[in-house]
Amino acid sequence: MYTTPPRMLVLGIESSCDETAAAVVRSDGQVVSDVVSSQVALHAPFGGVVPELAARAHIENIVPVIEQAVSQVPGGFAGIDAVAVTNGPGLVGALLIGVQAAKAIALSRDLPLVGVNHLVGHLLAVFLRRNDQDPAPPSYPFIALLVSGGHTALYEVRSPSDLEQLGQTRDDAAGEAFDKVAKVLGLGYPGGPKVDKLASQGNRARVPLPRPLAGRRELEFSFSGLKTAVAQYVAAEAANLDDAHMADICAAFQHNVVSVLVDKALAACDRRSVPRLVLTGGVAANRGLRALAAELCQARGVELFVPPFASCTDNAAMIAYAGSQRLILGEDDGLGLSVFSRSPILGVTAQVAEARRFKSSRLPRPGGV
C-alpha cells in the first residue's frame, strides 16, 4: 500500500484552458519549480479562447513544459513522489492533454496519480510559498472570493477537503466581463489589465452604470447587464470617445464590479463569522479590487490575504499543492482518472465522488481516456 512520504514532491500539471503549465511543489507548499506557457498571443486575434486551438497548442507545449519543471528537481523524475493533474472543470480537449501526460508519467514511474478540481487549486493557492518574504497564509476557516475569466464565486474553505460554495455568478464571470468591455472599447485581449490601467486615470462619476445585485442578500453576482450597459453607452457615445472618456468608462465599470465583489465577500465573512478573506483568480490582480478590499477589510476587522500574482492566475503549482493535500489523505485516482467540463462545487468530497461516478460510468477500464 502507498504511504505518503512526510514531505513529498508533487508534479502538478494544468491544461484546463489557455495555459500549459507544470510545477513541482512540496506538500508543505514550497514551490520548487513553476513553468507556465501562455497561449494569450495565439487566441488574441479571436478576442477569446478557441478550444481546438488551445488543445493543439497544449499538445505541442506539454512535454517541454513538464521537462522544464522537472529539470529543476534534484534527480529529475526520480525525485518526484506523485503526480497531480487538473481534470476539470475546463475545456475537455484541453484537459485531456494534461491528463494523458500525467497518466503516462504515473504509469512509467509507478507513481500515485490524483485529479484536482481547478477551482480547488485556485482556492488553496494562498498556501504556496515562493520565497521567504511571502506573508503567512490564513488559518482555516477562511472566506475565498475566486474571480477569474471563467469563474466568479464565494466559498467557505474549512480545510483542503471541506469547501462550500456560498454563491456564484448567474451569468458572466467578472474576468469575462472585463474582457468583453475591453473588446467593446477596442482595447484588445485579455482586457482586464488594460481596463485596470485606464480605470486608474478615469473619473467614475461621469458615467452612470448599474451596480448589479448590489445590496441584495444573495451572495450571487451578475455582470452581463452591466456589460450590456457599457456596450449601449459606448454605442450611444461613439462620436465622443476620446482617451479621457474611455478612462472614465473603465473607472465606472471597474468600480461597479469591484464594489459588488467586495461587498458580497464581506457579507459572506459576516454571515459565517469568519474574519479572514482570500482573493484569488486572475481578477485578484486588479488594483481597484485590491485597494477597495484592503480599505473595507481594515474598516471591518477582516484580515485580507492576496496571493502573489503568479499564484492568482492559472498555474500548475496550485494544482500540485491541492493534489498533495489529497495524497496526504491517502487518495489515489489511478489510471482510470477522467475529465469533466463543468460541475457545481459543493465540496471536495462531493466533487471527488462525482468525478469517480463519472469515471466509473464511462470508463470501466483503467487508462481508457
Residues that bind ligand KG4 (CB under 6 A): 17, 148-150, 175, 178-179, 190-193, 196, 281-283, 285-286, 313-314
**From Zn ion, ligand KG4, none, interface partner of 256 (C-beta below 5 to 8 A by class):** none
**From ligand KG4, Zn ion, none, interface partner of 285 (C-beta below 5 to 8 A by class):** ligand KG4
Site string for Zn ion, 308-327 (x = CB under 5 A): ------x-------------
Smallest gap from Cβ 34 to Zn ion, in A, equals 15
Which residue's CB is nearer to ligand KG4, number 103 or number 151? 151
Apex 17 CA angle, 309 and 185, nearest 5: 70
What are the DSSP E strand ranges found in the chain? Answer: 9-14, 19-26, 31-38, 82-88, 113-117, 142-147, 152-159, 162-168, 276-280, 303-305
HSE, side-chain direction, 13 A CA sphere, residue 268 = 30
Smallest gap from Cβ 258 to ligand KG4, in A, equals 9
**From ligand KG4, Zn ion, none, interface partner of 98 (C-beta below 5 to 8 A by class):** none
Smallest gap from Cβ 312 to ligand KG4, in A, equals 7
- Sheet with strand 113-117: strands edge to edge: 31-38, 19-26, 9-14, 82-88, 113-117
Supply 102's cell numbers: 500525467
- Annotate 174-226 with DSSP letters as a single string: HHHHHHHHHHHTT--SS-HHHHHHHHTTS-GGGS----TTTT-SSS-B--HHH
Smallest gap from Cβ 144 to ligand KG4, in A, equals 13
Smallest gap from Cβ 334 to ligand KG4, in A, equals 27
Number of residues in contact with Zn ion, rule: CB under 5 A? 2
Smallest gap from Cβ 366 to ligand KG4, in A, equals 29
- The amino acid that residue 32 corresponds to is V
Which residue's CB is nearer to ligand KG4, number 22 or number 80? 22
Supply 31's cell numbers: 514551490
Within 10 angstroms of residue 110's Cβ, the number of other Cβ atoms is 6
Which residue's CB is nearer to ligand KG4, number 100 or number 313? 313
Smallest gap from Cβ 281 to Zn ion, in A, equals 6
Apex 338 CA angle, 6 and 55, nearest 5: 105
Contact 332, 117 (CB under 8 A): no
Chain positions 36 to 55 lying near Zn ion, rule: CB under 5 A, are none
- β-strand pairing of 9-14 with 19-26: antiparallel
Within 10 angstroms of residue 342's Cβ, the number of other Cβ atoms is 8
Which residue's CB is nearer to Zn ion, number 318 or number 352? 318
Calpha distance 77→80 (Å, rounded): 5
Which residue's CB is nearer to Zn ion, number 179 or number 314? 314
**From Zn ion, ligand KG4, none, interface partner of 138 (C-beta below 5 to 8 A by class):** none
**From ligand KG4, Zn ion, none, interface partner of 179 (C-beta below 5 to 8 A by class):** ligand KG4
Site string for Zn ion, 126-155 (x = CB under 5 A): ----------------------x-------
Which burial class, exposed, middle or buried, applies to 75 when counting CB atoms under 10 A from its CB (0-12, 13-18, 19+)? Answer: exposed
Which stretches of the chain bind Zn ion, using CB under 5 A? 148, 314
